[in-house]
Structure 1
Amino acid sequence: MPSIYNKTDNDAFIARIEQLTPESKALWGKMTVDQMLSHCQAPMDFAFGKIPMKANFLMRLIGKLVRNKILNSKEYQKNSPTAPAFIRKEVYDFEEAKKGLIERINTFSELGQKAIKTTKHPFFGEMTYEEWSKMHTMHLDHHLRQFGV
């Protein structure tokens, strides 16, 4: 499994991102490519301590029940639900969104586990650094596959 902390793995993600164009179309889902690039930044910003998030009691309970199933799966399911704070409906500058995502990926390469400022996920609860890595790599892979790269 690739690691979000590994530069070689992240260079592979960046190479896939570089294949995207403003005209890239989703194979499933409703997001445009610029929305996807912005959306992928949001969970990273949460991990970096830049976006505060809380889930209500019911969502935390559900999250703890499904956490292992999701993290132990090979990939995220198509059209999986997302946190409302991560939903993107606006139009974003493609180049800026792409640059922002690459910068965040590089932050993981440069800082490794130190990039993570909270180990408590609002939905899944307390997570190890390895679980954070798996979640971010699965999320990136999911959305890059969504756009055919």
Structure 2
Amino acid sequence: MMTVPFTVNNREVRRNFLRQGMMEALCSLTGQAVPLWGRFTAQHMVEHLLWTFKFSTGDLNIHRDVPPPVAERMRKFLYDDRPTPREFKNPLLSEIPPPLTFASLVESKSALQRGVNRFFDVYEKSPTATYDHPLFGPLDGEEWERALFKHCYHHLMQFGLLEEGERNIEKNRE
């Protein structure tokens, strides 16, 4: 099991995790893996992560009128070193996981790797681009990176693929 510090304010940790650590941890995920909480199968979880990467690059769009004061309050979560609570329920998602998109977990993992690569490509080419997050409203690349770090970390913990490391290491290193 991989240990990763939960420090959303450290850009290097976020990027290393999203670019490399996440996929390394997913290598040990099998189709028979049972979550520690929630209803996702292993493949549902991987496809769910891909879904969020697609929002982050504008490949999927959802516009929700999040009132600015609410969005601002929610965005503070992106800057604090608290993980997503274990049983967090996204109000946009059904209790029943959606149908799978890919024929296998291996295909889903490959698609996720392409989604991660696309995320970094999009923001390297267009650093000021913003895309709507279903809960936080419009986010720029750094904010999406924070949201994705928290989201992916949460789901890898869900399947016992990560052990939480220290928090607040070199706080506010940005």
Structure with more of its chain in strand, by fraction = 2
Q: Which has the larger radius of gyration?
A: 2
Query: Does the 8 Å CA contact 1:36/1:143 hold for their aligned counterparts?
Result: yes
Structure with more of its chain in helix, by fraction = 1
The answer as to 2:45 corresponding to 1:33 is no
Alignment CA distance shift 1:78-1:70 (3 Å)? farther
Of 129, 138, 145, the match for 1:133: 145
Give the superposed CA RMSD: 2.8
CA-CA distance at 1:145 after TM superposition: 0.9
Query: Does the 8 Å CA contact 2:65/2:137 hold for their aligned counterparts?
Result: no
TM-score normalised to structure 2 length: 0.69
Gaps of 5+ in 1: none
**Which residue of structure 2 lines up, in the alignment, with residue 76 of structure 1?**
84
Cα distance in 2 for residues equivalent to 1:119 and 1:54: 9
Query: Does the 8 Å CA contact 1:44/1:136 hold for their aligned counterparts?
Result: yes
The total of aligned residue pairs comes to 146
Of 152, 155, 160, the match for 1:148: 160
**Which residue of structure 1 lines up, in the alignment, with residue 106 of structure 2?**
95
Describe the superposition over 1:15-74 as per-residue Cα deviations: whole angstroms up to 9, x where unpaired: 10111011111011111111101100111101111111011456x653432220354133
Residues 38-117 of structure 1: pairs in structure 2 closer than 5 A: 38-57=47-66, 62-82=70-90, 84=92, 88-91=97-100, 92=102, 93-110=104-121, 112-114=123-125, 117=129
SS at match of 1:97: helix
Alignment CA distance shift 1:114-1:75 (3 Å)? farther
CA-CA distance at 1:148 after TM superposition: 0.7
TM-score normalised to structure 1 length: 0.79
